[in-house]
Amino acid sequence: MANGATQAVENAARLSEIGFPEFTAKLITDTFNAITTSYLNQAAQYIGLVQAVSQTLQDYINNTADDISADEIGAFLVGIGGLNDDALNFLLGDSTAAASLNTTEVATINNAVALAPAAGASSAPASSGSLTNSKKQNIAEAIARRIANNKYDECGRSFRRWEWWRRSGQHVEVVWICFRLAAILQSSATASTRRSRDGL
């Protein structure tokens, strides 16, 4: 099946066959449909944003922390920096060799995963000494909660941007322009048809 761009090129090549008014009307109609579809998709995203930001930070974290992937946790852990290679490999699951954290590394991890008080009670997941699977799990869960916190913050920023755009009325102007162009083309096509009939 041809995509929209291919079909537009084919229609443009057939301009002499289908006539300018019909071609232009089809172009405007397809553009309007694309804008409408885009607007509906954006409205669905807006609803998702509203649902996300209507939750408290604590509820959002509790509802989404389990959805954070191991890759996201690993990327966050690597981004923390300042960890010795053995500890980093152990925490990433790349090694089962003995590893430990010193007090500086513990402070680095705990500061990186610290949450705002609105996120609910949380404890520092990292502690000095040898790393165990239990400590690794605690650190991974704390990182997942921190990533969920970051996503909540991003939802809030996106929501504010969307609200500005919605309130600015720009989307209404785009829809109005498409309706107006469609009306102009329709009247132009009707006038062209009348002229051709009058010439008979």
Give residue-wise pLDDT tens across range 122-148: 778 888 888 888 899 999 899 988 888
- Encode burial over 18-44: b for 16+ CB neighbours within 10 A, e otherwise: eeebebbbeebeeebeeeeeeeeeeee
Q: Is 80 exceeded by the pLDDT of residue 153?
A: no
Q: Is 60 exceeded by the pLDDT of residue 188?
A: no
Q: Is 80 exceeded by the pLDDT of residue 28?
A: yes
Which distant-in-sequence residues (6+ apart) come within 8 Å of 185 by Cβ? 21, 24, 25, 28
Residue 200 binned pLDDT confidence (cut-offs 50, 70, 90): very low
pLDDT (0 to 100) of residue 1:
42
- Encode burial over 163-190: b for 16+ CB neighbours within 10 A, e otherwise: eeeeeeeeeeebeeebeebbeebeeebe
Residue 181 binned pLDDT confidence (cut-offs 50, 70, 90): low
| Beta pairing class for 100-101 and 129-130 | antiparallel
Q: What is the three-state SS of 2-61? A: CCHHHHHHHHHHCHHHHCHHHHHHHHHHHHHHHHHHHHHHHHHHHHHHHHHHCCCHHHHH
β-pair partners for 130: 100
pLDDT (0 to 100) of residue 195:
46
pLDDT, averaged across the chain? 76
Which distant-in-sequence residues (6+ apart) come within 8 Å of 171 by Cβ? 39, 42, 165
- Centre a 10 Å sphere on the Cβ of residue 84 and count the other Cβ atoms it contains: 14
pLDDT (0 to 100) of residue 162:
62
Which of the pair, 111 or 181, is modelled with greater confidence? 111
* pLDDT tens sequence across 47-87: 776 776 677 878 878 888 888 888 888 898 889 888 888 88
Helix or strand holding residue 170 (H, E): helix 170-198
Helix or strand holding residue 175 (H, E): helix 170-198
Rounded Cα distance, 19 and 189, in Å: 10
pLDDT (0 to 100) of residue 194:
47
Q: State mean pLDDT over 22-35.
A: 82
pTM across the whole model: 0.58
H helices present in 54-169, as ranges: 57-64, 70-80, 85-92, 103-112, 133-168
